[in-house]
Chains A and B, each alone.
Chain A
Amino acid sequence: MEILVCVKRVPDSSENEIEVKGDGTDIERDDLVYSVNEWDNYAVEEAIQIRDKVGGTVTVVSVGDEETEEVIRREMAMGADNGIHLMDDAFEGSDGKGLATTLKALVDQGNYDLILTGAQADDGAGQVGGMLAAMLDYPFASLVNLIEVVDDNKIKVGREIAGGNQEMNEIDLPCVLSIQTGINEPRYVGIRGIRKVASVEIPVKGASDLGIDAGAVGAAGARVKRLDYFVPELGEGAEMLEGSTEEIIEKLIELLKAKGGIK
């Protein structure tokens, strides 16, 4: 099976405190630790496991600037066979549709049976996979937490729905799936793994290589534009308990007793 996994380089929000810049044009990015989007990492692991079971190749693709190469390389160190880096000034400022348009052009150049994305990334949109599927006229399933290969033409997928329940579907190949966290346990990538792929060449493709009209992507083609970042005016929020740890604990126990929190 030929599998394409679309990944994104994002600030690691479990490692960073996200602060909005004073002028609201961006978040403070200077000291941020970046990594591969968590959902995408599960998608790559899933692709590798499927390949190891049924054969084929795993290709990881990412749209982004020079720094993006490091996450493609990291996912190759996990075991992906190929990496492709889509980079062009024309892609900057793309909305979800612009990104999906860019990825569709790449898919058209290949022969993929299965295309995976993460269910969402740092912007919480969860849009690129579904858009890509619609552009390709492929079937789509979101929030996938189980994949079973049935045969060369179809797979069985579980979707995470409400209440911890799982919706089982049969889906024809080729298809696009967005992968939910928890579908597997992504393998650890050590320094040695990274070293192994350190000199592997990762081809870079721009808009003209993909045959994309620059006006259809990037800021030029975007119908959705981010105007600013801001810190919302919040309500009162929690009453923060202050003082020494002993004082805080004393207050907390009192409150918990009053509310029935300590039996």
Chain B
Amino acid sequence: MAEIFAYILHKDGKADDTAYELINAAAKIDPAAKVTAVVAGSGSELDSACSEAAKIYPAVWKIDNEALAYVNAEAVRPMLVNIIPKGAVLLLPHEHFGMDLAPGLSIKLDAAYLPDVVDFKGVEGDALKAVREEFSGMASTHVSVDLSGGAVVTVRPGAFAPDEDAAASGEVVDKSADAGAGPPLKRRYLETVVAEVGEVDITKSDVLLSIGRGIEDEENLEIAFDLAKIMGADVSCSRPIVDAKWLEKSRQVGTSGQTVKPKVYIACGISGSFQHLGGIKGSPFIVAINKNPKAPIFQAADVGVAADILEFLPELQEAIEELKG
């Protein structure tokens, strides 16, 4: 079986949650694998991320380079090409950094590329069988990947349970010299523009009435705001509502928007992509209202109503009004 590597994301000296998940993903490919963590960055923050990774992984490879003070996928890629052995399997998280780095890396390593895996079903000969989702989670597929030339695999954050023990005592090996300096960068990091805080801070809301595509028209937002007002809830939304510029970005729930921790989350006309669900933390009571009874949101919800929100929400409003007198 091929060697397995896991790429570790880290921030402010702390390993990302996915660092704890990739080790279990690797175990599903090969339970006997001695997985090596690869951690790239610079200085003391990198060192503390490596120490944390060493508690999860039996081996840690460190790439320390001043040019990686901000980790730029274009800078890391040639360094990984220099150190990842031919035929290895490299796991990365399927999020904005993994999506930036991994497809091109697979070409440079001449390895197969398998994106956004949610489960592994074992290896037979050179073929790794995995599970993916298509059509925004409305259909799943089994895929087979030829591992004979190695593979770069991105794994969906949250799809594998985290390693709770973190009882490894891995050795940190400095691979910086082998990784090299890399060619001059054709893409240079400038700055991070931090999201503006909007009129409502949905990360602090106890009750969120969250609106998705099912609202159909900007004018219909009034229905949601009226209902939220009488319930004492704040209005949040899914990505298409922000893309359409109907609500400000600060109201978007999801991995590319805000992470919310309400007590009650009412998803109205939201299909429930994994990116959206990834922004809901703290196990709230989730109510889903959607006219498509097969929408993935019903798998995440506690209670579901199969109804058109444009008809259902005004009726709910009326009933609450009556109740409150």
Contacts and interface: CB of A to CB of B under 8 A. Distances in A.
Interface of A: 11, 13-14, 17-18, 20, 27, 95-97, 100, 119, 122-131, 133-135, 138-143, 156, 158-172, 175, 178, 181-182, 185, 223-232, 234-235, 237-241, 245-246, 248-250, 252-253, 255-256, 259-263
Interface in B202-251: 206-207, 213, 231-233, 239-240, 242-245, 249-250
B96 to A, nearest CB: 5
A23 B287 CA distance: 33
Contact of B306 (A138, A165, A240): A240
Given A97-B107, A256-B231, A262-B231, 19 more contacts: A124-B134, A126-B115, A127-B103, A129-B103, A130-B102, A140-B104, A141-B100, A170-B190, A224-B114, A224-B144, A230-B142, A231-B139, A232-B131, A237-B301, A240-B305, A249-B315, A253-B320, A260-B206, A263-B232
A127 B113 contact: yes
B178 interface: no
Contact of A168 (B112, B191, B319, B320): B191
5 contacts: A127-B115, A171-B186, A172-B187, A229-B139, A261-B285
A164 B256 contact: yes
B32 interface: no
B250 to A, nearest CB: 7
Given A133-B104, A238-B303, A259-B263, A124 B231 contact: no
Interface stretch (B22-30, B35-43, B161-169, B192-200): B192-200
Interface in B4-34: none
A226 B134 CA distance: 11
A167 B116 contact: no
Contacts of B304: 237-241
Contact of A124 (B106, B133, B149): B133
B116 A125 contact: yes
Contacts of A141: 100, 187
A231 B140 CA distance: 6
Contacts of B232: 262-263
Contacts of A249: 315-316, 319
Contacts of A178: 99
Contacts of A163: 195, 256-259
B30 to A, nearest CB: 19
A238 B301 contact: yes
A229 B258 CA distance: 32
Contacts of A169: 72, 187-190
Contacts of B293: 240
Q: How large is the interface on B (under 10, 10 to 19, 20 to 34, 35 or more residues)?
A: 35 or more
A260 B264 contact: yes
Nearest to B137: A124
Contacts of B231: 256, 261-263
B146 interface: yes
Contacts of A123: 132, 134
A11 B139 CA distance: 13
Given A140-B74, A160-B96, A27 B135 contact: yes
Contacts of A162: 95-96, 255-256
Interface in B257-292: 257-259, 263-264, 266, 285-288, 292
B44 interface: no
B141 A230 contact: yes
B82 interface: no
Binding site secondary structure of chain A: mixed
Contacts of A172: 186-187
B213 A14 contact: yes
B143 interface: yes
B138 interface: yes
B187 A140 contact: yes
A97 B207 contact: no
A185 B244 CA distance: 7
Contact of A232 (B129, B140, B189, B256): B140
Contacts of A135: 107
A183 to B, nearest CB: 9
B287 A261 contact: yes
A154 to B, nearest CB: 9
A20 B141 CA distance: 10
Nearest to B263: A260
A139 B286 CA distance: 42
B136 A13 contact: yes
A241 to B, nearest CB: 5
A130 B92 CA distance: 15
A134 B104 contact: yes
B107 A225 contact: no
A241 B277 CA distance: 21
Interface in B63-96: 72, 74, 77, 95-96
A261 B263 contact: yes
A10 to B, nearest CB: 9
A182 B237 CA distance: 14
A164 B250 contact: yes
A227 B124 CA distance: 14
A135 B138 CA distance: 32
A158 B194 CA distance: 12
B193 A165 contact: yes
